[in-house]
Amino acid sequence: MSTAVNTARPVKPRRRIRRFVPPQHGAWAMLLLPYAVGVALVGPRWPHLPLLGAWLAGYLLSYYAFQAIKTRRPRRFADQLLAYGLVTAPLAVAVLLARPTVLWYAPIYAVLLTVNAGYAWRRRERALLNDLASAAQSCLLVFVVATISGVPLADVVPAFLALVLYLVGTVLYVKTMIRERGDAGYLRLSMGFHVVALIAAAWLDMLLAPVFLLLLARAVTLPARRLRPVQVGVIETVCCLLVLVVVLIAL
C-alpha cells in the first residue's frame, strides 16, 4: 500500500498577506488626505470612525473587484472580495443608519465607479480620465464628512477646491515621472495645470500660494531627473503633508 506524499509548498504568511494588499502605495495619501482635512475642519463625530473603515475597506474591495473585471477571472479574487465585502458592508450600514443623508452621494459615486469599471474592462486603468475619476471620489469625501457632522457644505467648499487642485495636479505630475515620462505633451499639460492651480489657490487664500508654488516647482524641475518610483512617492508624501497643514491653517 503506497502512501501519498503532499509535495505542495505551503503558502508563506508574507505571500498570503500580499494577496490582500494592493501594490498601489500612492493611493493611501489620496484616500486619507480628504478624510483628515474634512474631520479636522468640521470636528470629529462618532460616525466618522465607521466611515473611515468603510472608506478604506471599500477601496480595497473596489481594487480587487476591478482586478476581477480586468482579468475576467472573478474566482481568482474571490477571497479578497469576500473578506473586504464582509468588512465594508457592516461599516457602511452603520454610517447609513447614523446619517441616512449620506445616501445623496451614492449616485455620484456610482457614476465615478462605473467609469473605473469601464476602464478596468478595457484594461486601461492607467488612463488619465480613470485616475481623475478616482481623485474626484477622494475629494468628495470632504462633503460626506461634513454631511455626517451636519455642517453646511458651503463651509468646506474652499477646502474641497484646494484638494481638487492638489490631487489633479498630482495625477498629472506623477504621470510625467513614471507612466508618461518623456512625453512632452503630458509635461506641458502638467506644468500648465500647476500654473492655473497656483493662481486659483492664491485666490482661495494667499496662505496657500507658497505650497502651490512649491508644487509647481516640483512639476517643472523633477521630470528632468531620473527618480525611482519610491523616491517619487516619498517626495509626494511630504507634499501631501504640507498641503494638509496649510489647508487646515488657511481654510
Domain ranges within the chain, ordered by starting residue: 25-146, 152-251
Mean local confidence (pLDDT), 198-221: 97
Q: Look up cell 478604506; give the residue.
A: 56
Task: Give CA separation, 25 vs 171, 229, 233, 237, in Å.
Answer: 14, 10, 8, 10
For residue 232, which amino acid is it?
A: V
Residue-wise pLDDT for 134-183, tens only, equals 999 999 999 999 999 999 999 999 999 999 999 999 999 999 999 899 89
Task: Give CA separation, 76 vs 16, 62, 100, in Å.
Answer: 14, 15, 35
Q: What percent of the chain has pLDDT over 90?
A: 82
Residues in the chain: 251
Rounded CA separation 170/153 (Å): 25
Q: What is the DSSP string of 47-104?
A: THHHHHHHHHHHHHHHHHHHHHHHHT-GGGGHHHHHHHHHHHHHHHHHHHHH-GGGGG
For residue 18, which amino acid is it?
A: R
Q: CB neighbours of 83 closer than 8 A, spacing ≥ 6?
A: 20
Residue 27 φ/ψ, nearest 5 degrees: -70, -25
Residue-wise pLDDT for 79-126, tens only, equals 999 999 999 999 999 999 999 999 999 999 999 999 999 999 999 999
pLDDT at 8 over 50: no
User: Taking the complete model, does pTM exceed 0.75, yes or no?
Assistant: yes
